[in-house]
């Protein structure tokens, strides 16, 4: 059974329909990469999955059970609980500037479970080791490079132990020489069997890390398949044109 099943998601802003019926399924341990041109609805889709937008139509099933239905009004507490299934790493890192690296990572777990602070500290130190930033635990975000900040943002998301980790163009705000270190961390998560949804413009990375690729155009999934199918044998003329521009 799929870990996550998304059915018929539609979302409009005013009169503009941004998502026009999006369906996909994700298995546990799978990496789904979403590509598509600017404005095709990729960020909106991730924001819907993370309960930052309420879709107008559609449902999400998690482990076969309904997690979200657009026709249901949820309380803030319910949304907070549902959101725990997902982690989201943004393009612009969004670390808390007033807190150290370590505090950025422990803050949300401490708020959720105030009686487990010692455990969270240990976990945060393990995560810092994983992203290679143990020596920067007491630094503030402004003292780090963009690549380091993004690695901390990934650690912060992992600290909440989400079932599905989502990335929205995690390297597009970085200089090319800093992109590699962030992609390396994401690759290492794949080998530790994390389930991930990654929106990216890094086509070589997408091809390498993806189990499944979705190409979005104008609010719909125009084409989906394995990396070999989508990158090696694109069928849709729009996808062919998109790939010829990005390669």
Ligand X SMILES: Nc1ncnc2c1ncn2[C@@H]1O[C@H](COP(=O)(O)OP(=O)(O)OP(=O)(O)O)[C@@H](O)[C@H]1O
Minimum CB distance to ligand X smaller for 43 or for 179? 43
Of the candidate spans 32-40, 119-127, 138-146, 230-238, the one that interacts with ligand X by CB under 6 A turns out to be 32-40
Q: Give yes or no for residue 71 binding ligand X (CB under 6 A).
A: no
Minimum CB distance to ligand X smaller for 48 or for 144? 48
Name which of ligand X, Mg ion, none residue 149 binds, using a CB cut-off of 5 to 8 Å depending on partner kind: none
Token couple for 62:
């998690």
Minimum CB distance to Mg ion smaller for 33 or for 128? 33
Token couple for 81:
């609980």
Could you say which DSSP state residue 210 is in?
A: -
146-159 and 101-112 helices, crossing angle to 10°: 20
| CB of 221 vs ligand X, minimal distance in Å | 12
Of 144, 147, 99, nearest in space to 124 by CA: 99
Among 40, 43, 149, 179, binds Mg ion (CB under 5 A): 43
Please work out the total of residues on this chain that contact Mg ion, with binding judged by CB under 5 A: 1
Of the candidate spans 21-29, 35-43, 65-73, 233-241, the one that interacts with ligand X by CB under 6 A turns out to be 35-43
Of 190, 102, 91, 177, nearest in space to 141 by CA: 102
Q: Give yes or no for residue 171 binding ligand X (CB under 6 A).
A: no
Token couple for 228:
């070999």
Q: Are 129 and 121 in contact (CB under 8 A)?
A: no
């Amino acid at each position: 059974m799929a870990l996550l099943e998304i059915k018929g998601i539609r979302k409009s802003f005013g009169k503009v329909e941004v998502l026009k019926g999006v369906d996909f399924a994700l298995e546990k341990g799978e990496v789904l990469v979403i590509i598509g041109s600017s404005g095709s609805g990729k960020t909106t889709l991730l924001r819907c999955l993370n309960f930052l937008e309420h879709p107008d139509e559609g449902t999400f099933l998690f482990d076969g059970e309904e997690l979200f239905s657009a026709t249901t009004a949820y309380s803030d507490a319910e949304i907070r609980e549902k959101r725990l299934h997902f982690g989201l790493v943004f393009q612009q890192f969004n670390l808390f500037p007033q807190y150290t690296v370590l505090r950025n990572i422990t803050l949300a777990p401490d708020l959720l479970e105030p009686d487990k602070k010692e455990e969270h500290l240990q976990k945060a130190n393990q995560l810092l080791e994983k992203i290679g930033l143990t020596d920067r635990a007491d630094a503030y975000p402004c003292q780090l490079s963009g690549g380091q900040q993004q690695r901390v943002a990934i650690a912060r998301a992992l600290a909440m132990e989400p079932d599905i980790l989502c990335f929205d163009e995690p390297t597009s705000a970085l200089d090319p020489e800093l992109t590699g270190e962030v992609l390396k961390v994401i690759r290492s998560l794949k080998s530790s069997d994390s389930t991930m949804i990654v929106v990216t413009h890094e086509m070589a990375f997408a091809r390498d890390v993806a189990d499944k690729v979705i190409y979005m155009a104008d609010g719909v999934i125009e084409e989906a398949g394995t990396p070999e199918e989508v990158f090696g044998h694109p069928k849709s003329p729009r996808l062919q044109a998109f790939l010829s521009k990005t390669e």
